[in-house]
């Protein structure tokens, strides 16, 4: 009975009401999964050495999160509280296997490059975190928007970090060289790539700088200590 | 015996889950506010890693790997179930985490409420699945070596998270620039700790 009234109220709401747009928009800045909610850091560090894998990874996460949020939201009243983790992981693992197979079929070279990290989407805590915090207590459409929004927020940071790291680390972007060859010291120039940018610690420091810029522009996110 | 000590020390310092592979960062960053909660989470990770790695080792060697089912009979010698690795490993991990969650909720409600959402998140802590996958990749010789590796990785995570929590408790008294407070400075600290731990790389006992 109670769920029925909720359903009715939701249906009368316009599809892109202010509240629903907020669900989609907030994760891009105010409630970003990486810089504010602190979820999904591992892959942000691991695959941001180059831009291309980061973009493919972001798209895969958008798909897994949107579809997973819909499925969990449909099942939310049937999942016993005690075994919810296993149910969620099964859903995620099935979706990740789907993504893996599609990538293998149509984008084999990228899939080969990403192989380990596609598997690691299963343990990407951003997905589990949103299942727990949102899809378990909200309707299908809202969960879908929340999933797309959060995955997009994750993708934005991933792409930003990988642009920085690929450009300063190897002087290329999407595999294309941007620094003229004659600039390099080997050819008598003045420029040298910063190999440090390719090491994992620099990913952390790049994310820290992004956080700094974001919070300097958005002072309500500043923490107490 | 020396081999076991070697695996243990390597897992803690040289192949540290957090600093060498940057696995398990989510809970590492989120639950390192105070030393007390980080001790709880670190202990939970040691426990879960110490249990899941040997179980997954058995699963790998007696069920999943190619020809592992030979003990059932000679007609199973060609069965290769390794494509099920991910889902089997994650199922073992998830059920173990659920077990730990129930035990903690029952015996230490204070710890349970302070760990909050991050206890279920141990299941998706990359360091747990990472531990099992490294175990598979490095193909340890027997179950003792696998367990020692699991425990060592857990201890490495424990040391990392407790050290970070201790630094964060002290940094509360420092005048960090506003936008860097909290998460930002924690990333920088972890980056610097990671650079320091990189000096352990390449050391062999």
State the smallest CA–CA distance between residue B113 and chain A in angstroms. 16
Cα dist from B45 to B30, B93, B111, B156, whole Å = 14, 11, 14, 10
CA B66/CA B125 separation, integer angstroms:
28
Tell me if A2 is assigned to some domain: no
Beta-carbon contacts below 8 Å between A and B: 143
Whether A8 has a pLDDT exceeding 60, the answer reads no
Tell me if A119 is assigned to some domain: yes
Distance of CA A30 to the CA centre of its chain: 15
**pLDDT band at residue A3 under the 50/70/90 scheme:** very low
Q: Which of B129, B110, B106, B56 is nearest to A82 (CA)?
A: B106
Tokens representing A116 are 């380990």
| Mean of pLDDT values over A116-131 | 77
Whether B95 has a pLDDT exceeding 50, the answer reads yes
Tell me if A12 is assigned to some domain: no
Tell me if A131 is assigned to some domain: yes
Percent of chain B with pLDDT over 70: 93
| Mean of pLDDT values over B39-52 | 84
Tell me if A160 is assigned to some domain: yes
Pairing of strands A172-173, A176-177: antiparallel
pLDDT of residue B150: 92
pLDDT of residue A46: 72
Neighbours of A216 (CB within 10 A): 14
**pLDDT band at residue B118 under the 50/70/90 scheme:** low
Tell me if A57 is assigned to some domain: yes
A208–B185: do the CB atoms touch at under 8 Å?
yes
- For A150, the domain range is 18-203
Tell me if A44 is assigned to some domain: yes
At A37 the three-state DSSP class reads coil
State the smallest CA–CA distance between residue B73 and chain A in angstroms. 30
| Mean of pLDDT values over B63-69 | 78
pLDDT of residue A95: 87
DSSP sequence for A146-192: HHHHHHHHHHHHHHHHHHHHHHHHHSEETTEE-S-GGGBGGGT-SB-
Chain segment A91-100, per-residue pLDDT in tens: 888 888 888 8
Q: Which of A4, A126, A10 is nearest to A69 (CA)?
A: A126
Beta bridge partners of A172: A177
**pLDDT band at residue A101 under the 50/70/90 scheme:** confident
Q: Which residues of B touch A41 (CB under 8 A)?
A: 25-26, 29
Mutation target to probe the B interface, by most B beta carbons within 10 A, among A85, A88, A119, A157 is A85
On whether any CB of chain B is under 8 Å from the CB of A99, the answer is no
Note whether ipTM > 0.95 here.
no
Q: Structure pTM?
A: 0.78
CA B142/CA B58 separation, integer angstroms:
9
At B60 the three-state DSSP class reads helix
DSSP sequence for B162-195: HHHHHHHHHHTTS---GGGTTHHHHHHHHHHHHH
Tokens representing A41 are 């850091």
Query: Structural domain tally of chain A?
Result: 1
Tell me if A218 is assigned to some domain: no
| Mean of pLDDT values over A37-57 | 79
Average pLDDT across chain A, whole number: 80
Percent of chain A with pLDDT over 70: 89
């Amino acid at each position: 009975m109670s769920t029925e009234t909720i359903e009715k109220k939701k249906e009368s709401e316009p599809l892109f009401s202010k509240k629903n747009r907020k669900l989609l928009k907030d994760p891009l800045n105010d409630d970003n999964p990486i810089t504010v909610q602190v979820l999904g850091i591992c892959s942000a560090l691991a695959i941001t050495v180059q831009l291309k894998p980061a973009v493919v990874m972001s798209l895969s996460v958008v798909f897994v999160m949107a579809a997973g949020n819909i499925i969990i939201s449909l099942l939310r009243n049937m999942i016993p509280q005690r075994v919810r983790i296993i149910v969620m992981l099964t859903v995620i693992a099935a979706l990740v296997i789907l993504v893996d197979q599609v990538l293998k079929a149509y984008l084999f070279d990228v899939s080969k490059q990403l192989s380990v990290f596609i598997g690691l989407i299963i343990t990407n805590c951003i997905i589990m975190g949103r299942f727990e915090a949102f899809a378990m207590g909200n309707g299908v459409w809202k969960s879908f928007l929340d999933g797309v929004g959060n995955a997009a927020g994750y993708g934005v940071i991933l792409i930003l970090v990988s642009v920085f790291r690929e450009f300063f680390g190897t002087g290329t972007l999407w595999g294309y060289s941007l620094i003229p060859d004659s600039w390099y010291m080997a050819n008598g120039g003045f420029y040298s790539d910063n190999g440090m940018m390719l090491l994992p610690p620099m990913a952390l420091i790049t994310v820290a700088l992004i956080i700094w810029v974001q919070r300097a522009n958005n002072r309500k996110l500043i923490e107490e200590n | 015996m020396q081999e076991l000590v070697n695996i243990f020390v390597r897992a803690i310092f040289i192949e540290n889950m957090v600093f060498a592979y940057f696995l398990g960062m989510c809970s590492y960053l989120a639950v390192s506010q105070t030393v007390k909660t980080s001790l709880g989470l670190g202990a939970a990770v040691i426990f879960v890693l110490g249990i899941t790695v040997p179980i997954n080792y058995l699963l790998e060697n007696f069920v999943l790997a190619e020809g592992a089912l030979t003990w059932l009979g000679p007609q199973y010698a060609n069965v290769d179930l390794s494509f099920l690795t991910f889902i089997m490993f994650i199922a073992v991990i998830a059920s173990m985490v659920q077990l730990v969650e129930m035990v903690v909720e029952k015996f230490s409600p204070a710890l349970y409420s302070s760990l909050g959402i991050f206890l279920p998140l141990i299941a998706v802590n990359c360091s747990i699945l990472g531990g099992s996958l490294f175990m598979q990749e490095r193909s340890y010789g027997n179950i003792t070596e696998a367990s020692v590796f699991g425990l060592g990785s857990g201890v490495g995570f424990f040391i990392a998270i407790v050290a970070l929590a201790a630094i964060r408790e002290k940094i509360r008294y420092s005048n960090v620039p506003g936008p860097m407070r909290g998460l930002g400075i924690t990333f920088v600290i972890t980056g610097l700790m990671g650079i320091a731990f990189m000096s352990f790389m390449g050391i062999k006992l």
